[in-house]
Structure 1
Amino acid sequence: MEELYTLEREVGRGSYGVVFEGQMAKTGNVVAIKRLPCSNPESIELYLQELWAMRATAKNHVNVIALHSCLLQTGPRSLKPLKSGKPPLRLVETVLKGTVVGVQQDQRRRKDSSSNLRRTNSNSRLQDKTNTVQARAKLQDLVKSHDCATPQRPPSRGRKRSAQNEDEQDGPLRCLALWLVMEYCDGGDLNHFLLSRPPDPQRDHSVVLQLCSALAFLHSLGITHRDLKPDNVLVCVTPKGPVIKVADFGLSKMSEAAVNGDLTRQRFSSTCGSDFYMAPEVWGGLSYTAQADIFSLGVLFWAVLERITFLEEGSTQEQLGAYVCKGRSGWLMPLGEALWENPEFQLCIPVKFKRAPPLPPPPGPAMCTLLLDMLTSDPDTRPTADQLESRVCSALKEDSEGLRVA
């Protein structure tokens, strides 16, 4: 790893992997390096979904995190760069078979080698003495040439040949971890960035518009994110203002850029995402479409524009998110769950009592109407991603003109 990148410090840790701040050895450029241990087929399937989505987006949109390279760890100090058009076949095989391929094959290979060695020893007594001497001489020459040649090889050629041999050999290739090298975002995630600063309506509007642009781009490629939330939105701080980056594609799904040009016809069945941002149809275990992303974005927009926060159980870290208060104790219910239980439930936008001080001005009537459209229980009546950006622009413009008139 140190020949390509250096790991500086850990900057994040989740259920599936660890993210480090690192540097490119040649240029010194700062990067984010995500290590995903390949310990079980379920995790590997998520890693492959993330890899394929990030390869599809490449570096083609300023508001989607850029993937620089991907490396497969095959030994304690052995890394194999993966070519952009070539899938890691051992990992794909692991997912299809439902078992970590390298481990079982390695065990079988050791058994086979042991039995072959016993057969060879028993047969060697029947071999001609001359052949045995010649075989020993060839083996010694091979060992000597290997011992002499290895340290004299240029390191770059050695790595290249090693990768070629691994592709060609019949034996198992142990896949210990997948390393994703991505652009580094110095502003942290959206929770940290916004809540560590005083409210700024202009900045909040910029965040909302950039997220619209990112989602329209992803949906145009046939990518449904399925886990949009502040933790999965990163921020790069620039002199011109924050640049928003949608990240973490572990739960994403790809389809052929849409069915008949309409991603809303591609249906999914897995219940996944984060409670406070999941759409009602996902909460209900129904099949759902990319319109579930629109609902998640609606929750996020509402929280950003009104600075609505909550504390998750067992946490002291405030998070952006809209919700419903239920019962006398005021326990929090995710919007999606509330709308699944009662599709006629009326959301009150804007709100006052849930907002975290200092308070920004509430969104205007046009933006409130758009939020209600995004958060409707009927996914077919939500705006699509390619409609969303223009509608947000129109709503913000209409509300600002209304303020000037007032």
Structure 2
Amino acid sequence: MEELYTLEREVGRGSYGVVFEGHMAKTGEKLAIKRLPCSSPECIELYLQELWAMRATAKNHVNVIALHSCLLQTGPRSLKKLKPGKLPVRLVESVLKGSVVGAPQSQERNTSQPNTQRRTNAVSRLEDRTNTVQARANSNEKTRSNASDSATPQRPQNRGRKRPAQSEEEQPGPLRCLALWLVMEYCDGGDLNQYLLSRPPDAQRNHSVVKQLCRAVAFLHTLGITHRDLKPDNVLVCVTPKGPVVKVADFGLSKMSEGLVEGDLTRQHFSSTCGSDFYMAPEVWGGLTYTAQADIFSLGVMLWAVLERITFVEEGTTQEQLGAYVCKGRSGWLMPLGEALCENADLQLCIPMKFKRAPPLPPPPGPAVCTLLLEMLAVNPDARPPADQLEARVRSALKKDSH
């Protein structure tokens, strides 16, 4: 692994994995390398969904994050590239059995033990580098640390003569898939929240972002991929001399539908309630079956927030986020749009939301854009425009409003 890639620093941490800035050893190309620890069948299932979706998108669209390669870690010194189109059999088996294949029973019973108690060896020099970066980040920001990442394995000072590494077949005991490593393109502008909110409002930039998001979702739906967690946190930005290039990322909750009926993704129904509160469609909030049109609702929330620069701070956090909502009561309690529409299907959304505008707010969206947003945020999924029409509709609406 270290012959191909090197890790530099941690750039992001989520519920399931850690993302590092890295470089390709031969060319020096900057990359994002995501480590997904295979600690439970539930996590593994999400990882396989993400891998499968990213392989389907490959490098075929400028507005979808590109996957360069995937590596599987199965032992102290075992890291190998996965072949295209293949899934690790042990991970699939873990999902089907509901238990991690090859994991000691004592470990499955108590997964809260420190890293030093669960591992006896460092996982190659790359793994040493990973834990060093994590430990450094944890010492600076203890509130984000996890017990499983807090310890840095130490190398013995006198290692003596090297012995040949055992192959997988020679290693005693059952093998276990320790982690998946996804090697992806690096986005230097951060996520959409960070990028837009760190800059003064710019209508032309906002319009470019909106059109790119429409193109990305149309591409995914054409491939039969329903993202199911569209939000600004899951959109990354590459800064270029010609302006921002947005990349839809994080496919852990996505679903792929290969056998579409007459090519129509809206015929494929899902039932799992998943997503992020302020972007979830009303049918998802209500626990009903839903289709890819739930993505159109999430996209509508994002477009509205980008065009009007609407932000909120979610309870328990301090980070300002782009998103639309409904204000409830005199206290100004914020309710997600999907939840509000689920409770009251006749609720009339007020677009634009901010009537008293002063710098640095951007100009309000015009009537044509407001009409399109209301269609995207319709309670009835069938009333929302399909993804393949959105970019043309956005272009037309912006042109009408400019006159």
TM-score range, shorter chain: 0.7 to 0.9
**Contact 1:307–1:355 (8 Å) recurs in 2:** no
Question: Is residue 64 of structure 1 aligned with residue 64 of structure 2?
Answer: yes
The residue that corresponds to 1:377 in the other structure is 379
CA distance in 1, matches of 2:70, 2:245: 24
Q: Structure 2: 5+ residue runs without aligned partners?
A: 108-160
Taking structure 1 as reference, are residues 74 and 315 closer, same or farther at Cα in structure 2, changes over 3 Å only? same
**Contact 1:276–1:321 (8 Å) recurs in 2:** yes
1:202-248 deviation line (CA, Å, top 9, x unaligned): 11000000001000000000000000000000000001110010000
**Contact 1:257–1:263 (8 Å) recurs in 2:** no
**Contact 1:223–1:257 (8 Å) recurs in 2:** no
TM-score (norm 1): 0.82
CA distance in 2, matches of 1:355, 1:173: 61
Mean CA deviation greater in 380-389 or 70-79: 70-79
Q: Which of 170, 186, 192 is the aligned partner of 2:188?
A: 186
SS in 2 for 1:55: helix
Q: Which of 223, 226, 235 is the aligned partner of 2:225?
A: 223
The residue that corresponds to 1:34 in the other structure is 34
Question: Is residue 84 of structure 1 aligned with residue 60 of structure 2?
Answer: no
Q: Which amino acid aligns with 1:225?
A: H
SS in 1 for 2:84: coil
Where in structure 2 are the equivalents of 1:336-351 lying within 5 Å? 336-351=338-353
**Contact 2:75–2:175 (8 Å) recurs in 1:** no
CA distance in 2, matches of 1:278, 1:350: 20
Cα shift at 1:85: 1.7
The residue that corresponds to 1:103 in the other structure is 103
1:245-297 deviation line (CA, Å, top 9, x unaligned): 00000000001163221000000000000000000000000000000000000
**Contact 2:279–2:297 (8 Å) recurs in 1:** yes
TM-score (norm 2): 0.83
Taking structure 1 as reference, are residues 178 and 8 closer, same or farther at Cα in structure 2, changes over 3 Å only? same
Q: Structure 1: 5+ residue runs without aligned partners?
A: 108-147, 152-157, 402-406
Q: Which of 315, 319, 341 is the aligned partner of 1:313?
A: 315
Taking structure 1 as reference, are residues 384 and 356 closer, same or farther at Cα in structure 2, changes over 3 Å only? farther
The residue that corresponds to 1:247 in the other structure is 249
Q: Which of 272, 277, 280 is the aligned partner of 1:278?
A: 280
1:15-43 deviation line (CA, Å, top 9, x unaligned): 00000000011111000000000000000
Q: Which of 207, 210, 213 is the aligned partner of 1:211?
A: 213
The residue that corresponds to 2:122 in the other structure is none
1:122-162 deviation line (CA, Å, top 9, x unaligned): xxxxxxxxxxxxxxxxxxxxxxxxxx9976xxxxxx8xx94
Q: Which amino acid aligns with 1:56?
A: A
**Contact 1:212–1:389 (8 Å) recurs in 2:** yes
The residue that corresponds to 1:175 in the other structure is 177
CA distance in 2, matches of 1:98, 1:352: 49
Alignment coverage as a number of residue pairs:
350
**Contact 1:33–1:181 (8 Å) recurs in 2:** yes
Taking structure 1 as reference, are residues 259 and 247 closer, same or farther at Cα in structure 2, changes over 3 Å only? same
The residue that corresponds to 1:118 in the other structure is none
Cα shift at 1:77: 3.2
Cα shift at 1:173: 2.9
Taking structure 1 as reference, are residues 313 and 105 closer, same or farther at Cα in structure 2, changes over 3 Å only? closer
The residue that corresponds to 2:360 in the other structure is 358
- Aligned-pair Cα RMSD in Å: 2.1
The residue that corresponds to 2:21 in the other structure is 21
1:286-321 deviation line (CA, Å, top 9, x unaligned): 000000000000000000000000001122211000
CA distance in 2, matches of 1:95, 1:356: 53
The residue that corresponds to 2:111 in the other structure is none
SS in 2 for 1:102: coil
Structure with more of its chain in helix, by fraction: 1
CA distance in 2, matches of 1:176, 1:356: 53
Larger Rg: 1
